[in-house]
């Protein structure tokens, strides 16, 4: 804001230029938002997640007697095979210790056999053998390779915020210059009203609905 205000005070651009710059900023924002669609990390190998149907069923014949229903998402990782389980209960773990503030689980009896492919396990998790794993499972999901995607996301976000802030001062100045002196306060209030009605109020509702529509597992508790 300070930099854009200083540039405007020195260069004294015309209202047409300021409005045109806001249009350019809006176009870059749209391009940036579209770019986010292509920046992602690989999905973790969550046992029970079916990529073909985009659904999750973490219960199988092995953990059906473990009373794992209605448990909160507390993933554990089998690092040797990069397998993530919904919780230690779903992995059939019977023992746990705490090392350096991290829970370590052992004696887990619902680990898929080494010969089971992830894709096969996704299609039908009930027809394969499960074995007792003699090693340890660590608290938290397994790491997924992202490469440089995270850095791309940071750079694009910083660029979008920089461009967005450069147009706000000019937008306010145009609002003040385009109306008579007696109407300046009314024009500013009307502009804020329109922005609230068409952006600030419906925006969170719309994005909240989109996020809710992508949720695969819902918590049944209201704690």
Question: Is residue 44 domain-resident?
Answer: no
Helix and strand counts by DSSP (H, E) for the chain: 6, 7
State whether 24 and 79 are in the same domain: no
Does this model's pTM top 0.85? My answer is: no
Q: What region does 179 belong to: left with phi over 0, alpha with psi -120 to 50, or beta?
A: beta
DSSP string computed for 121-184: HHH-TTSS-EEEEEEEEEESPPP---TTHHHHHHHHHHHHHHHHHHHHHHHHHHHHHTS-GGGH
Question: Is residue 222 domain-resident?
Answer: no
Question: 139, 171, 204 — which closes off a domain?
Answer: 139
The SS3 of residue 199 is: helix
Cβ atoms of 45 and 83 closer than 8 Å: yes
Question: 81, 110, 139 — which closes off a domain?
Answer: 139
d(C-alpha 59, C-alpha 126), whole Å = 9
Specify the pLDDT at position 124: 53
Question: 89, 124, 139 — which closes off a domain?
Answer: 139
Q: Which domain covers residue 11, as residue numbers? A: 1-39+146-214
As beta bridge partners, residue 83 has 78
State whether 112 and 75 are in the same domain: yes
State whether 99 and 150 are in the same domain: no
Query: Could you report the per-residue pLDDT of 176-199, keeping only the tens digit for each?
Result: 777 888 888 888 888 889 888 988
Query: Could you report the per-residue pLDDT of 126-182, keeping only the tens digit for each?
Result: 445 666 677 789 998 888 877 788 888 899 999 888 888 887 777 777 777 778 888
């Amino acid at each position: 804001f300070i930099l854009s205000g200083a540039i405007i005070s020195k260069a004294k651009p015309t209202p047409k230029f300021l409005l045109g710059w806001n249009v350019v900023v809006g176009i870059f924002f749209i391009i940036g938002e579209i770019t986010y669609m292509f920046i992602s990390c690989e999905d973790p190998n969550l046992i029970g997640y079916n990529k073909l149907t985009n659904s999750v069923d973490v219960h199988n014949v092995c953990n059906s007697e473990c009373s794992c229903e209605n448990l909160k998402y507390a993933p554990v990782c089998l690092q040797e095979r990069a397998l993530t389980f919904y919780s230690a209960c779903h992995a059939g773990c019977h023992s746990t210790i705490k090392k350096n503030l991290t829970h370590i689980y052992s004696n887990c009896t619902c680990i898929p056999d080494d010969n089971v492919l992830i894709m096969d396990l996704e299609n039908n998790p009930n027809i394969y053998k499960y074995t007792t794993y003699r090693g340890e499972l660590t608290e938290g999901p397994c790491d997924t390779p992202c490469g440089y995607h995270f850095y791309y996301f940071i750079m694009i976000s910083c660029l979008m915020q920089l461009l967005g802030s450069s147009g706000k001062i000019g937008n306010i100045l145009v609002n003040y210059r385009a109306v008579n002196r007696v109407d300046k306060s009314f024009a500013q209030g009307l502009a804020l009203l329109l922005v609230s009605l068409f952006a600030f109020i419906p925006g969170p509702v719309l994005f909240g609905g989109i996020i809710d529509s992508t949720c695969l597992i819902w918590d049944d508790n209201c704690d």
